[in-house]
């Protein structure tokens, strides 16, 4: 997969409040640019079940094979022990940069991977991985959420991702 780190827009305190209350009147004060290009570990928790995703930049000239068409497409891949090891190491040592529970009682947590060596390891580990095919969308998207098939199966229905949880910063 041709993924790479990216510079993200994340919600500020006021943005998190708007996610918690499903308020849609977003403005510039509700988000800020995170420093540096990074991958993001994303954990969703609903009814005590946790699901892990990796958010990455995707080449804009590629269409993506997806499970969930949307602002950030969700791409399935076969389980990668290297990625799981990196998740465990990172999450175990650092606090999330975003943590919010939405009105559907889904908790969303994001960890920014700030070490260039870890980002390089993720890029290298995912390069030979072929996404699994489900439904094809012809929409090219700048960000993807990569989910191992075993993780995807944890929820009978995919939780909704708040639209303003994370976005790619534009130059």
pLDDT tens digit sequence for 18-33 = 999 999 899 999 999 9
Q: What tokens were used for 22?
A: 């499903």
Backbone angles phi, psi at 125, to 5 degrees: -65, -35
Tens digits of per-residue pLDDT, 132-151?
A: 755 445 566 788 888 888 88
Stretch 99-123: mean pLDDT: 93
Residue with tokens 């950030």: 72
Q: Say yes or no to pLDDT of 93 above 90.
A: no
Distance in angstroms (rounded) separating the CA atoms of residues 90 and 108: 17
Say what the pLDDT of residue 85 is. 81
What pLDDT does residue 136 have?
Answer: 43
The dihedrals phi and psi of 50, each to the nearest 5 degrees, come to -110, 140
């Amino acid at each position: 997969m041709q993924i790479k780190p990216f510079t993200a827009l994340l919600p500020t305190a006021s943005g998190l409040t708007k996610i918690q209350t499903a308020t849609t009147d977003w403005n510039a004060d509700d988000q800020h640019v995170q420093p540096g290009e990074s991958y993001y570990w994303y954990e969703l928790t609903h009814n005590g079940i946790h699901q892990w995703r990796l958010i990455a930049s995707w080449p804009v000239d590629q269409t993506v094979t997806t499970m969930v068409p949307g602002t950030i497409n969700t791409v399935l891949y076969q389980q990668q022990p290297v990625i799981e090891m990196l998740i465990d190491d990172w999450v175990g040592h650092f606090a999330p940069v975003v943590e919010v529970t939405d009105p559907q009682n889904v908790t969303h947590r994001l960890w920014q991977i700030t070490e260039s060596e870890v980002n390089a390891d993720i890029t290298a580990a995912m390069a030979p991985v072929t996404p699994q095919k489900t439904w094809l969308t012809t929409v090219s998207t700048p960000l993807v959420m990569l989910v191992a098939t075993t993780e995807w199966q944890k929820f009978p229905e995919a939780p909704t991702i708040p639209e303003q949880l994370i976005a790619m910063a534009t130059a």
